[in-house]
Each structure stands twice: as structure tokens, then as C-alpha cells.
A and B are shown apart, each in its own frame.
Chain A
């Protein structure tokens, strides 16, 4: 312990010295601007699809993390982040449509993971059926914007795309409603029972989606719903005024990119404010010690229901966006693997930590959608050139293996995640010598419990 402190006090290692130099005065501004300029230039000057550009995109997203962690002024961070996300990325997206799709998906999953983070990370309720609420939102818009609706309400025409905006709010409400509905019976259960029951409920929703084509055709069964409506475009005049002609497909791409970005920003804001509020402190208290939380007068079931409803409402909204983005949904889209994928994002990044969850979502989505298929195709190319790689080795098919190993390794070596939340790290490493003494943790629990009560 004493040795630890000395190391912290006097940076002697090369790395620590470097960090100290880079973090002093104008150095961080210069370094970050240089990094941003190089990455942006690489993206915009060479927008081809390939392993090289993959890496640059990864660097680009890493840049967001660097900006977030850098010791600079908030205004600088916000300006640079906005320029990169709202200008550089869309322009690159016009030049190369492939990557902006991946980034849009990553943003969508980040918002979903943030919703799950409220349930799992803040309130400590392991929910393995989270995708059920996502499915509810997706089917909601899917049914109302296609002729499917006339099977339920005879004579009703499919809704026009402009209803989409209203349905974002309806998805929020319906998601919250389902969260309360499913949460009410199960929230009195202890942690591990809750996990299995939510898993069962997730499966029930999927089975219902598969089988509710009889007696009334509500979900169109295993065939799924296709030709789901999209919101009307309204940015055409802007492009015309700027003298840019882009196709409708590309326009939709940018449209959804900005939509997801907006929703993600809103989600981050709401989740952050919630975490700092009395409700958030109550959740923390429940997570750390239920009995103590009850003793402090925290309404246990109501707080848990609230966490469930908040998480579910984000998923409902994202479901509406997802169905409009994909224009096709079917039951296998919402299987257990998807729930576990979202869970592994939260766990990889760090349960309870907002930047951590977003980092986890970006890493998992990139691995899943971009890097693994790319490695697979590169390997296939090598194989064609005669390099002896066994034909069964196809990394793109090893999602389960990847998620599984990720979960095990994280749990054994770093259960607090890549970007941990302070309190969680202390909780998980309380038996090891750490800078934070044990008494601090106890004090923080008591404090949070009291403030939630008062």
C-alpha cells in the first residue's frame, strides 16, 4: 500500500512522465487537434472499404473517448465532438455508405445499452429479457405502419410515415407500460431468480411474436413484417440550396444517423441526470444493500419498477427507430442472443458507468458487424492465395463464442468493466488493498441511502 502511494506521488515511470507532459498547459489541445485532423483527413481522403479504413474508423471512435477523458475545457470537448460527429462523419458517410450504417447501429445499441444500464448497472437487477421491450417497440410501429393493422382494427389504413414522430413517444410509453407489467410480478424476487424469470419472459414475447398469426394475424408469425413505413424526409430543400444532389437512400442514411445521434444524446442526458438525482441514489442504495435501503425508507418495489420502466421505455423507442431503419422485422431478430449481446456491452464497458456502457456498445457492435466479418473475408482472401488456413475457421460466425468468452474473462479479471464507475470498483475490489479505504464505501452507501430518503 505504501509502495502504491509513492508511485502515485512521484511519477517515475516513462508512461507516467509522458502522461504528465501531455496533460500540461496547451499540450492536450494540440495533441487532440492533431489526432482529430489526421484521422479526419484519413477518413475523408481515402473513403474506400477495407481493413485500413476499418482501423481508421476505430481510431475515430477512440478519439471520442480521448476527447471525453482529456484534461481540457468542456467547451472545447463539446465543440470538437460536435464537429467530428455532425460534420466529418456525415460527409464520410456520403462518400462511403458502409461505415455510417455501422456507426448508426453502434449508436442505436449504445442507447439500448444505456437503457439496460439503468436496470442492471444502477439498480442492480439482472434483466436477461431486455430485448422483449425492444421487440414491443419494433412491432408497435411495424404493425401500425403496414397493412397488418387492418387485421386487428378492420378497415383501418396503415399510418402515414409522419406518424413516426408521435410513435417515438408512444413507443416510450408502451415500453414503460410493458416494463411495469412484466416488472410487477417479478420484482419482489431476489437477483438470480429475477434473471431467469426475465429470460423466460423474453422468450415468451418471442414465442408470442412467432405464434400470434392465429387466430388473428397480429404479428404475421415467423415470416415477420416487411415494408415498414419510414418517416418522410424534410431536409431535401437544404441539400438543394447547398447545391448537393444525393440519392434518397443516402439521405435516409444520414437522416437515421442524425436521429440516432439525437436520441443517444438525449438518452445520455436523461440517464446522467437520473443517476445524479434522488432516484439514482435510491437505486444505488438498493443495488448495494436491499435490506439497508428498506431500513432507510426507500420504497423498494416502486424504485425497482421505476428502473425497469425507464430501461424498457428507452428500448421501446429504439425499437420504433429500429423497425423504421430496417423496414423488416421477424421474431429471430429478438432472440436471447440479442439480449445477451446488449448485456455484454454493459458488462464490458462497466456496469453503472455511462461512458463505459457506450464504449462497450461501440466495441461490441464494431467487432460484431465490422471487424469479425472483415477478418473473415481477409482470411478467405489469404486462403485463396494458398495460405493454409482451415476452411472451418470463419470468425464471423463465432458471435456466441465471442460474447461468451467476453463475459467469462471480464467477470474473472475485471468485473467492474473497462471504464468503471468508482463505487462499483470499490465494491468489487474491497478485499484487496486499494487506495480507497473500506470505511469510505460504507460511508458512501449510508450517505446515498440517507439522501434518497430525505
Chain B
């Protein structure tokens, strides 16, 4: 039986045409790309229209010009936020896919990834290698390390705190996950404070290069301002895209991916087909945790200073992104992350501008994220890309 199953799936792999290979690995990415462009165009158009409409209300500055001047930067910011949420959301959505369980501690897995990077850079700095190491090597090493640590952490958390509760009522593992999240926060705080890294840990990097200037934006009286993308944001976007390609390959092409999808679809049947369900679930946590860890490293590198509580808000928003895209759906998580990231970036930048600084955009961006979550759950609980499922009795 097992032999037959193996030959069957091998046949499946060999018969796969190059065309279907490309469409399964890069198809979701194309969708993500379309959503990036779409969000940028729609939201950009919206703020320009709004600025044109409100133009007369402010005498001190030209609102329309101000809006257009910061627009490219806001779009880049939106992309970075979007890919951040997308990579974290993948962890939520994959675990939800196989277990129908919200891994509340995933934000803390992300935070541990960020701290792994901070420890790594501190260790390099103390041995004097930080300045001499090639930046590319540093980024690769840090990301791989973060992925390994977070991945294994997520797997062990599953083993200790979730597996014993697999058949319990739904809320029981969720409460356990909340507990794990608190424990991880405090343990990381204790470690960070007592190893000299400090509560607010510095994430030092080698010189990653100057911001890349994409274009010169003309403003009034003939001057121009540069439209630039800083190297950290660029690294973020590139690594995130590479990871998404890798994940699509893993889930859609490999035998392991087939097993994961089978478990997600129907656990008892998958187990009857000879799939080791516990192993697949552990590997799902490993993959989700590794993605979260990589996101943590990239996040830490970009913001420079992290603390043990940084995982909470991105984790919550990434969950929002996963729901927005349709929880359980991998492409949906990426798309949801992108859309949420763009919305947030636009609110954070333009709310203050349009209300004369009466409302601070950065704080209200959080409220926007949660309002979206609530609206989506009321009007389209299956998300942007999710299928409508009826609840089984």
C-alpha cells in the first residue's frame, strides 16, 4: 500500500510539465504582484483625489503637491509592511490549515527570530567581525540562523503545549497558546536583560550600503527630491519574495507539500493513506516558525532596536492579514498581508497630513487594521481569496 502510494506520487512529479511547474510556483507570486500594483494604484489614486478635493482647506502648504511628493515613499513603505505581514501570516494560515487552530504564540516566534539576529550580531560585534563581514553573507547567515531557531522553537512549542490538547474543545489549545506567548515574552526578556543585550536590544549590521535612488521627483521652483529605497527595505522585499517562491515550491510541488495539503484537507483520511499526521503537523509548525523567524530577522534589521514585546502587534496584524486573505489559504495570506500593509502605510502617512496633525496617523493605523478585521469577518468571513465553507455539524 505504502509502496503504491509512493510510486503514485513520484509519477505525479515526473509527469508534471514545465508549464504547470511554473504556474504553481510563480502563479501565486503573480497574484501577489497584481495586488501590489493594484493596491498602489487604487490607494494612490484615492489619496490624490482626496488631496485635490481638500486642496483649499490648508493655506500653509500645497496639499496636492505634498501628497504626490511622499507618495513613492509611502508605496515602498506599504510594500515592506505588506511583505512583513505576509511572511508572518503564512505561519498562521498554514497552522490553521492543518489544525484549525490559531497559533496565538506565532508573534512571539517572530520576536524570538528577531532576538536571534540581535544575539548573532552582538556576538559578531564582540569578536570584531561585524565590520569586516560581507553584508550579503551576514544577511544570509542571520536569516538562516533565525529560521532554524524559530522553526525549532515553534516545533517544540507544538510538541509541549499543543499536541496534548489536540482533541480538546477548541478554546483549550487557544488558551494554552496565549500562555505560551506570555511565557516566551518573559523568558526572552529575562535572557536579554541578563546577557547584556538589554531590554531594548540593538540589532547592529555591517554597512549595508547607501539608499538606492530610483528617480528624481520634481517639486516647486525647479528643485527635485530623490525617490529612494533604503537597502534594508530592499533586502526585506527580496528575501521575502525568495521565501515565498521557496514556500510555493515546497507546498505545491514536493511530496511533503502534498502531504501537508492532504492533512489540511482531511486528517483521518490522510492518516489512512499512510501519512504520519503528527510528523506533518510538526513540519508545518517548523515551516511556519522558520518563515516567522526570517521575518523577525528582517524586521529587526530594518528597525534597528527590538524589545521582547515587539512580536505582539505584528503578530496580531498578520493574523488580520491571514483572515483578510482567507485563513488556511497560502496565497490568500500573502495577498492579505500586502493589502493590509498598504492600507496601513497610507493611513499612517496621510491621516496626519489631511487632518493637520490632529490625529496621529501611526496610532490610528492600528485601529484601521482591527476595523478591517472586523469588517471582513462580518461581510466576507471567507476572506478575499477563501472559499465559502459551511460549518459541519
Contact = CB atoms under 8 A, between A and B. Distances in A.
Interface in B304-321: 312, 316, 319-320
B381 A189 contact: yes
Contacts of A210: 363
Contacts of B371: 204
Nearest to B157: A408
B377 A186 contact: yes
B377 A207 contact: no
B170 A193 contact: no
A207 B223 CA distance: 39
B359 interface: yes
B370 A204 contact: yes
Given A400-B182, A408-B161, A411-B176, A192 B187 contact: no
A308 to B, nearest CB: 15
Contact of A186 (B173, B180, B189, B374): B374
Interface stretch (A195-203, A245-253, A315-323): A195-203
A403 interface: yes
A208 B167 CA distance: 39
B207 interface: no
A428 to B, nearest CB: 7
Given A188-B378, A196-B319, A214 B359 contact: yes
B228 interface: no
B367 to A, nearest CB: 5
B169 interface: yes
B173 A411 contact: yes
A191 B189 CA distance: 31
Contacts, number: 137
B358 A404 contact: no
B95 to A, nearest CB: 12
Interface residues on A, range: 35 or more
A118 B21 CA distance: 53
B38 interface: no
A192 B370 contact: no
Is the contact region of chain A dominated by helix, strand, or loop, or is it mixed? helix
B171 interface: yes
Interface residues on B, range: 35 or more
Contact of B183 (A191, A197, A204, A404): A404
A190 B333 CA distance: 20
Contact of A408 (B170, B180, B374): B180
Contacts of B367: 204, 207-208
B240 to A, nearest CB: 24
Given A197-B374, A398-B186, A404-B181, A126 B171 contact: yes
A301 B190 CA distance: 44
Given A192-B102, A404-B183, A211 B363 contact: yes
Is the contact region of chain B dominated by helix, strand, or loop, or is it mixed? helix
B393 interface: yes
A405 B160 CA distance: 12
B193 interface: yes
Contact of B373 (A191, A200, A207): A200
Among A340, A403, A412, residue most surrounded by chain B Cβ atoms (within 10 Å):
A412
B79 to A, nearest CB: 24
Contact of A404 (B170, B179, B364, B370): B179
A407 B174 CA distance: 10
B178 interface: yes
Interface in A356-414: 392, 398-401, 403-408, 411-412
A241 to B, nearest CB: 51
A200 B174 contact: no
Contacts of B316: 196, 199-200, 203
B161 A412 contact: yes
A237 interface: no
Given A196-B102, A210-B363, A411 B179 contact: yes
B180 to A, nearest CB: 6
A157 interface: no
A406 B178 CA distance: 11
Contact of A415 (B168, B183, B190, B391): B168
B171 A124 contact: yes
A392 B193 contact: yes
B175 interface: yes
B323 interface: yes
Contacts of B366: 203-204, 207
B194 A405 contact: no
Contacts of A415: 168, 172
Nearest to A200: B370
Interface string A315-356: 000000000000000000000110010010001000000000
Given A185-B374, A411-B172, A291 B185 contact: no
A428 B183 contact: no
Contacts of B360: 211, 214
A431 interface: yes
Contacts of B178: 128, 340, 343, 404, 407
Among A186, A192, A195, A340, residue most surrounded by chain B Cβ atoms (within 10 Å):
A192
Nearest to A193: B377
B222 interface: no
Interface in B369-384: 369-371, 373-374, 377-378, 381
Given A192-B101, A204-B367, A411-B176, 19 more contacts: A124-B171, A126-B171, A190-B391, A191-B170, A191-B171, A191-B174, A192-B171, A192-B174, A193-B323, A196-B373, A197-B374, A201-B370, A204-B371, A207-B364, A340-B178, A411-B168, A412-B164, A412-B165, A415-B168
Top 4 nearest A-B pairs (CB, nearest first) are A407-B179, A404-B182, A404-B183, A200-B370
20 contacts: A126-B175, A195-B171, A201-B374, A204-B370, A210-B363, A211-B359, A214-B360, A215-B359, A340-B182, A392-B190, A400-B185, A401-B190, A403-B179, A404-B183, A405-B179, A407-B176, A411-B161, A411-B168, A428-B169, A428-B172
Interface of A: 124, 126, 128, 185-186, 188-193, 195-197, 199-201, 203-204, 207-208, 210-211, 214-215, 291, 336-337, 340, 343, 347, 392, 398-401, 403-408, 411-412, 415, 427-428, 431
